[in-house]
Amino acid sequence: MSDEELAKDLGLVSAMTIGIGTMIGAGIFVLPGVAANAAGPIVVVSFVVGGVIAMVNALSVSELGTAMPKAGGGYYYINKSLGPLFGSIAGMGDWMGLAFASAFYCIGFGQYLAVFVGLPEVAFLDPIQVGALLAGAVFVGVNYIGAKETGGVQTVIVFVLLAILTAFALAGFLSFDYATLVGADGLAPFGTGAILPATALVFVSFLGYAKIATVAEELKNPGRNLPIAIIGSVAIVTVIYAVLVTTMLGIVPWPDLSTDAPVAQAAEVAFPSSIGPIGGVAAAAAAVMTLGALLATASSANASILASARINFAMGRDRIVTNWLNEIHPNYATPYRSILLTGGLIVVFIALLGRDIEVLAKAASVLHLIVYALMNVGLIVFREADVPEYDPDFRVPLYPITPILGAVLSLGLVAFMDGLEIALSAGFVLAAVAWYFAYARNKTTQQGVLSRYIRDRGEEFPDQVVDAADAVAPNGSDGPTIMVALANPRTESALITLAGALAEHEGGRVLATHVVTVPDQTSLATAAENRDRIDASSAELLDAATEDAAAFDVPIETRTILSHRGIEEVFDAARTNDADTVVMGYGGARFAGGRVEGTLDELTHDLPCDFLVLDGEDPTLSDVLVPTAGGPSSDLSAEVARALRETVGVDVSLLHVAEAGSEEAGREFLTDWAGDHGLEDAELIVDTGDVETVITRTGTAYGLVIVGATERGLLSRVVRGSLTFDSLTDLDTPVLLTERPSSRSLRERVFGRR
């Protein structure tokens, strides 16, 4: 059985966009009209107050998250600190709160969809509810089959939305009229007492940052990235709200601002009807804003459904709820029962409460505010109990004032909710308490720090609070580590042969890895518990690698890596395990795919080590051809060829393509190059003509062609084409691409140079 490693998939950009994307969807595109009708222009202050309350809570969430980067977020912290009774309240509250929020986002989607395409009434449902139900069904289906959401898609959505809103803000600035903002009744037509009730209404706009904590277990460098992502997302979104809501109210008088599609309405006023001969500009801008709203609300709803599944996983792990709810689908590897149950609740909320969006918004806020208050209390318990394992990388300033203030502000804001939302939330809290006494108390083995502190005050606690799965570098040889990224049984033998030859030649070791891609809806910890169901072939693949490596005198370690990403995880695994060389197959995939930050990472950083990428399933390792014109990657090609010659016994030929009339100079270069790289006895071939044509023509006679990467940057090699990638597609002979880390500037990596 191979070792198992849980990948740290989420970087700072992805984590921050999880929060920003959710909050932008609610606060900008859905609520300004409703909130302005309730408070007038002073609603801008309500958004800022909501941001301040969220920021105080964000500080506490950041400390708890860096101490316990575990799936489940607020539920996990409360369960560990206050015990399973309060954990049941927090878990159920978070779950129901996300269901209410998802229904709210779906209604927002339905509002803009009804404006954009028009929808009919169906039975007792109005057009907006029809659109919301269609959206909810699609989002539940997407999560059911395990489609990606929190990665590159979410990041792209956020950057597109920011671009759209920036354009709107610039146009709005030019059309802004202070007299329109103030209106006939002033900034506070309902008095300043309307600020906090409006804050209670719009606070649902600030729930997105908490979702970052639910995926903390999969965050890279959580001690640094978690606080930046949580605090940064709240700060950025608060500023966006203040600017854009002020802009909207300075364009459209607050009594006239639409409660269904406020941004589209304001955009049609802000943008000119025509620019020179180009007409229909305002209508096009309104359409773009509507599309942006659909994108934002869809992303928010989808992210909320995904987060709810993570909370259920955490509760199932602690036996607060039955693990039957977290059963993994045999084909999609998703928690389909949990997703379907959450989807059913969303449908019910849309059907029963969808005509009053304020009820959905406030019910989601009340439940989350209760959880925030409990989290602040839990932080104080951890601090006062002086638990040895509680060692956060980030600590809240002004302790204990900050967590006390967070709890007071959270519960204080609940007081400004309406009776219906408070009653609904109280019902769910009572149901959670009843569930604990009827089921969870007899199932769970968890014991909170609070109860142990009361019972054993002054004693050390033997139970650990934090348990993280850290990657451990392989043990064995002191030589270089040759990491093999296996994915296909058909290429396993060839890749292990290459890695084994290199390791034996250099006195190193082989680390065979298999990246098992897990749907975003399934936490990596749960995937580890269900690994056989998710990917039963991993053990077979790594067992075959162990057998094939026995042909070489090298130690080998195997490792299964559970990840939400695919090929880009190879780069992280290479860094984590201090690999000196990575050997992998090429199946048409680009080096940096999936999450946008993965692409940025490869463009802005050097490769972590030498990379060998094999295109072809079964190279004949009897003779190899090494084309060279010099350069670091050609040096690596020579090292690989020499290792194969000395361990496997292949014949090596060297090829240099010279300019016409410079054949003698080319032969002199090739002779010197062969001597410098220990390949004096290799056959030397000098030819003229087009480089790619010569390599293609000559390479067909060999069992393997080893090609060093050109000096073009990654982006130009993939997008514009290059010698390296053209050779991979033109040659029938298997090709081994070699690339050595370089110190190119960012401009050279992006645009390349010859």
Q: What is the 3 state secondary structure string of 528-577?
A: HHCHHHHCCHHHHHHHHHHHHHCCCCCCEEEEEEEECCCCHHHHHHHHHC
pLDDT at 400 over 80: yes
Q: What are the tens digits of pLDDT across the range 335-347?
A: 888 888 889 999 9
- pLDDT for residue 262: 87
The β-bridge partners of 735 are 615, 705
Residues of the chain by 3-state class (helix, strand, coil), percent to 5: 60, 10, 30
Query: What pLDDT score does 2 carry?
Result: 53
In Å, what is the CA distance from 594 to each residue of 372, 598, 746?
33, 7, 21
Dihedral in degrees, nearest 10, Cα atoms 535, 540, 541, 542: 110
Range picked from 227-231, 277-281, 601-605 for highest mean pLDDT: 227-231
Rounded Cα gap, residues 736 and 570, in angstroms: 17
Phi, psi of 257 (to 5 degrees): -70, 130
Region for 531 from its dihedrals, namely left if φ exceeds 0, alpha if ψ lies in -120 to 50, beta otherwise: alpha
The first and second tokens of residue 611, run together, are 């990379």
Cα separation values, 363 from 29, 155, 230, 707, Å: 19, 28, 23, 61
Other C-beta atoms within 10 Å of 644: how many? 25
Q: How far apart are CA 638 and CA 657, in angstroms?
A: 16
Q: Which residue has the tokens 């928690």?
A: 335
Q: What is the DSSP letter of 393?
A: S
CA gap 87, 80 in Å, rounded: 8
Query: How many whole angstroms separate alpha carbon 520 and alpha carbon 146?
Result: 7
- Residue 353 has a CB neighbour count (10 Å cut-off) of 20
Q: Which of 163-172, 211-220, 734-743 is modeled with the greatest confidence?
A: 163-172
pLDDT per position as a tens digit, 553-574: 899 998 888 877 666 678 778 8
Q: Compute CA distances 378 → 6, 64, 80, 317, 369, whole Å.
A: 27, 9, 8, 20, 14
Written as six digits, the tokens of 215 are 């995926």
pLDDT digits (tens, 9 = 90+) for 497-522: 999 999 998 899 999 988 887 777 67
pLDDT of residue 10: 67
Confidence label for 152 from pLDDT (cuts 50, 70 and 90): low
Lowest average pLDDT, out of 282-296, 318-332, 633-647, goes to 318-332
In this structure, what DSSP letter does residue 461 have?
A: P
Top pLDDT among 399 and 463 is at 399
Do residues 673 and 630 touch, judged by C-beta distance below 8 A? Answer: yes
Of 81-90, 324-333, 692-701, least confident by mean pLDDT is 324-333
Q: How sure is the predictor about 719, in pLDDT bands with cuts at 50, 70 and 90?
A: very low
- Confidence (pLDDT) at 605: 44
256 has a pLDDT exceeding 70? yes
- Residue 695: CB partners within 8 Å, gap ≥ 6? 627, 655, 657, 705, 707, 723, 727, 731
Which residue would you say has higher pLDDT here, 446 or 695? 695
pLDDT at residue 548 above 50? yes
Question: How confident is the prediction for the chain on average, in pLDDT?
Answer: 80
